[in-house]
Amino acid sequence: MIACLLLLAQLQLAPPPPAASGASGSIDPAAAARAYLDQVPAADRARSAAYFEGGYWLDLVGFLWSAGVFLLLLHTGAARKMRDRAERWVRWKPLQTAFFWVDFLVAVTVLSFPLTLYREYFREHAYGLSNLSFGGWLGELAKGLALSAVLGAVALMVLYAVLRRLRQWWLWGAVASVALLAVALVIGPVLIEPAFNKMQKLQDQREVAPILSLARANGIAAGEVWEMDASKQSKRIGAHVSGFLGTMRITLNDNLLSRCSLPEIEAVMGHEMGHYVIGSVPTLLVEIGLVITAGFALVAFFFDRLRLRFGRWCVAGIGDLAGLPLIALLFTTYMFVMTPVINSVIRADESAADLYGLNSARQPDGQAQVALKLGEYRKLEPGPLEEMIFFDHPSGRTRIFTAMRWKAEHPETWSR
């Protein structure tokens, strides 16, 4: 009985701060958002800001490190030796591409391991965000490497077939890349996610019933809800409505279920269902596809100029496997420069899903409380330029203000 009472208490949303309650007969969205943000202790706020801001520098270091690895493979002749080895082992070109990719992937992984170890293990533990032991982390890394070897080999065989056969390879390569991204979204819920986490159907009807009711109300044909044991890796909360073409799933991670009230869960699910209903996936595929197309066009422009300038790399042309580090260098540089554009595209989509979630789940205080929990590892109050450049989701301040602005216009929710 005591356990049941504790569970029911957990499912209740914490009361909003007075400025956000509507008890005075009105709500000032800015003051209500400020009241929510002020609930976060200064030490916690500084810790999350330090973690997030450190990520800016790590992104720069990661880009420079990757560029250095690609240049090392070119200048030392390692890429040429990998190509020659693949050609000696097999005669069929697609299989040569697969062998080369595995060789290349292992080399990049080994050369990048010190930074990967710091960034994904030591730093995550230093900020209390990882639950993995060192052995568990290595196991996750090995599984990711194995999946990348198989899926990357297939993707690269497709892309090199385009590079070698089509004159305007940059255009058709971009089309192929978007198609491969779509395939990844299809197989993700049923093949990729279960490789890292245990997936099981959520059984508690106090949580399943309102989620499925929300799904039906928004035209989502789902008959079950899945739970993922994300607590194995970290304490981050999360959920998604993913897949299509028969693989669509509503998935919540166990951190969301254990750490959030039912109104908070409904707010999250309203947002995630918003992505599905407003067509975020096809829209982003088109938008990111345009970015990829421009990137491939730039690669096509610079590739031959650089390979001829540095003849000692022994790269015969764009279809030569030994040129993969050069393609990776050029495209990685382009994507790094385009970070503010890509972040802005994704952030706009996330903002639209936030608004959809508010109108469907009608849980503004739930959304505000979730934003505070996400603020454990996302800076809550960045400057406007900082948010535009570095944030691929709205900041906590923006999300809470959006929720309070919506609440101010819906007095019927004030008594919740």
Taking the domains of the chain in order of start, what are their residue ranges?
47-196+281-336
Ordered alpha helix ranges (H), 166-279? 169-187, 193-196, 205-217, 254-259, 262-277
Per-residue pLDDT tens for 252-289? 899 998 999 999 999 999 999 999 899 888 999 999 99
pLDDT digits (tens, 9 = 90+) for 132-156: 999 999 999 999 999 999 999 999 9
Percent of the chain whose predicted confidence (pLDDT) is above 70 = 95
pLDDT at residue 127 above 90?
A: yes
- Length of the chain in residues, anyone? 416
At 6 the pLDDT is 34
Task: Report pLDDT digits (tens) over 358-367.
Answer: 999 999 999 9
More confident residue, 243 or 8: 243
Alpha carbon 348 to its chain's center: 15
What's the confidence (pLDDT) of residue 103?
A: 96
Task: For residue range 195-242, list pLDDT tens digits in order.
Answer: 898 988 888 888 888 888 988 898 887 778 889 999 999 999 888 877
Q: Are 83 and 314 within 8 A, CB to CB?
A: no
For residue 278, the SS3 value is: coil
Q: What are phi and psi of 251, to 5 degrees?
A: -130, 130
Tens digit of each residue's pLDDT (9 = 90 or more) over 63-82: 999 999 999 999 999 999 99
Which 3 state secondary structure label does DSSP give 133?
coil
H helices of 223-338, in order, are 254-259, 262-277, 280-309, 324-337
> Is pLDDT of 247 > 70?
no
Mean pLDDT (the chain) is: 91
